[in-house]
Amino acid sequence: MKICFVASEGVPFAKTGGLADVVGALPKALAAQGHAIEVFLPRYRATMAGKQLSSVAHVTLPFRPELKFATIEDGGQAAGVHPYLFNSPEYFDRDGLYQAQGQDYPDNARRFGAFCLGALEFLKRFPSPPDVIHCHDWQAAAVPIYLRSLYREDPFFKNVRVMFTIHNLGYQGLFPPSALEDLALPAGLFTMQGIEFYGKVNLLKGGIIYSDFISTVSRKYAEEIQTPEYGCGLEGVLRSRKDRLTGILNGVDYDDWDPATDKFLPMNYTANDLRGKQTCKAELLKKMGAVNPRLERPAIGIVSRFAAQKGFDLIAEIAEPLMAKELYVVALGTGEPQYENLFRQMAARYPGKFLARIAYDNALAHQIEAGADMFLMPSRYEPCGLNQIYSLKYGTPPVVRATGGLDDTIKDFNGKAGTGFKFTEYSAEALFGALQRAIETYRRQAAWHVIVQNAMSQDFSWTQSAREYAAVYERLAKSGVQGPAVGVG
């Protein structure tokens, strides 16, 4: 089948979080199973910075009062995947992907509308359409919205199906009603049955109602988002489409995330020979500023976007009893100022023990996966989460809250079986209890050896999940099911 991915980030072109890992890896796995995959991404300032790429098309974007124009560039075919970059300096030649200084760009609706229109106009240059356009998150949600409105009569797209994957319901693409004009969308869409949401334009809602099939990135999250607690106001919309909603777990690209081959580590290691992990730990603690590091003490790793989703307010609550213990915390992250400040304050209060770097640093992210003994993700909600799956491979058992993909990927350790430590209630006590169990287990060398081996033997490669996606694509291509058309009136 011929599948076109539309997404706002993807490794190796642009990344702020796990979406980029998925968009980098899933197409490769699908291509390995014989499918032809195109990936459509924006070209940001940092994307292949300064490199001249060959342009393959010029597209016209039907905005008012004047038309806009963009160039589509060839990202270079590799491993059966063909990336294309949407180059529009006006909208994307900026430092941030979505925001600057913590503020979303005010023209985000127009930016990603332009990107989605660019994708459709570009696809029309091919002799035949793709079987499925696979859109990811709100930034690509305008694709199904355009297809069911502006492009409704376009014969080229008549048999094209749209799959929409929700990576995070917390980001919906909410805009004032004036965004309809910025998007060149008909006013008739602004109803409760359409993309109106409490007086605003909600692009994610449009993605959910106008796509032919919807998925999210774990089974547990697919269930959770149909409840008021996790549905972010869209639980009713999601429930109304539940026969077209499924959860497919993210996989891992072990080409990038494997301690046996990881090029960012001072020494590689495997489950059979863990000496390199100790070297990674020693180097990491030194690099992060621990003086005479005590290697027998456990090091708790954190690598994260700092957002309310990630649950770090719980750490603030247990700071004192936790840091009274003989351990290290090694944290890397950037994001909302309140959490950046929290980590800075903790580092100042517990120097040499709470080691924090407020930055985005891919090499350090790998070094923490390897050099830490356990990995902490106390998320309030987590659609899938990739770091806990990486940490399994690196022999760094995760301590996680049992939500979304964290619950689906980690089994609680019972002394024999299990790969990590889980807690359920979103509370400081519950988190502290799980951390205490992890630290006590760490002190029992034989038990720790068992959990590390259990963790490292897990296989979360993309093969199985790619098959599940392909099965949905096939079902869509065959069944002729199509989302509702909408009036443009």
Choose the binding region for ligand GLC from 17-25, 261-269, 279-287, 367-375 (rule: CB under 6 A): 17-25
Q: Which is nearer to ligand ADP, 360 or 432 (CB)?
A: 360
Of positions 189, 386, 399, 410, contacts ligand GLC by CB under 6 A = 386
- Residue 359, number of CB atoms within 10 A of its CB: 10
Task: Tell the smallest beta-carbon distance from residue 196 to ligand GLC (Å).
Answer: 25
The kind and range of the H/E element at 164 are: strand 161-166
Q: Given the structure tokens 């993210």, which residue do they identify?
A: 250
Q: Which is nearer to ligand GLC, 88 or 304 (CB)?
A: 304
Of positions 4, 14, 22, 72, contacts ligand GLC by CB under 6 A = 22
Q: List, as own/partner pairs, every contact residues 46-51 make where C-beta atoms lie below 8 angstroms and the sequence separation is at least 24, other chains included.
A: 46/14, 46/95, 47/13, 47/14, 47/85, 48/13, 48/75, 48/85
Q: Which is nearer to ligand ADP, 38 or 256 (CB)?
A: 256
Between CA 322 and CA 327 the distance in angstroms is 9
Between CA 254 and CA 261 the distance in angstroms is 9
In this structure, what token pair is assigned to residue 256? 């990038």
* β partners of residue 37: 3, 81
What, of ligand GLC, ligand ADP, none, does residue 27 touch, CB below 5 to 8 Å by kind? none
In this structure, what token pair is assigned to residue 241? 């489409």
Task: Tell the smallest beta-carbon distance from residue 167 to ligand GLC (Å).
Answer: 3
Task: Tell the smallest beta-carbon distance from residue 283 to ligand GLC (Å).
Answer: 28
Q: Which of residues 201-220 bind ligand GLC (CB under 6 A)?
A: 217
What, of ligand GLC, ligand ADP, none, does residue 301 touch, CB below 5 to 8 Å by kind? none
Task: Tell the smallest beta-carbon distance from residue 163 to ligand GLC (Å).
Answer: 14
Between CA 305 and CA 169 the distance in angstroms is 16
- Mind giving me the DSSP string for 122-134? HHTTSSS--SEEE
What, of ligand ADP, ligand GLC, none, does residue 217 touch, CB below 5 to 8 Å by kind? ligand GLC
Q: Is 382 in the site for ligand GLC (CB under 6 A)?
A: yes
What, of ligand GLC, ligand ADP, none, does residue 205 touch, CB below 5 to 8 Å by kind? none
In this structure, what token pair is assigned to residue 105? 């760009």
What, of ligand ADP, ligand GLC, none, does residue 134 touch, CB below 5 to 8 Å by kind? none
Q: Which of residues 87-146 bind ligand GLC (CB under 6 A)?
A: none
Give first-to-last CA distance, the chain, whole Å. Answer: 35
Between CA 65 and CA 100 the distance in angstroms is 27
The kind and range of the H/E element at 346 are: helix 337-349
- Residue 488, number of CB atoms within 10 A of its CB: 14
The string over 462-479, giving b where at least 16 C-beta atoms fall within 10 Å of a residue's C-beta and e elsewhere, is beebbeebbebbeebbee
- Using CB under 6 A, list all residues that contact ligand ADP: 17-19, 21, 303-305, 332-334, 360-362, 365, 384-387
Q: Is 383 in the site for ligand GLC (CB under 6 A)?
A: yes
Q: Which is nearer to ligand GLC, 249 or 451 (CB)?
A: 249
Task: Tell the smallest beta-carbon distance from residue 288 to ligand ADP (Å).
Answer: 14
Q: Is 168 in the site for ligand GLC (CB under 6 A)?
A: yes
Task: Tell the smallest beta-carbon distance from residue 406 to ligand GLC (Å).
Answer: 8
Q: Which region, left, alpha or beta, applies to residue 23 given φ > 0 means left and ψ of -120 to 50 means alpha?
A: alpha
Residue 404: closest CA among 387, 382, 427: 382
Q: Which of residues 238-277 bind ligand GLC (CB under 6 A)?
A: 250
Chain residues binding ligand GLC by CB under 6 A are: 17-19, 22, 167-168, 217, 250, 382-386, 405
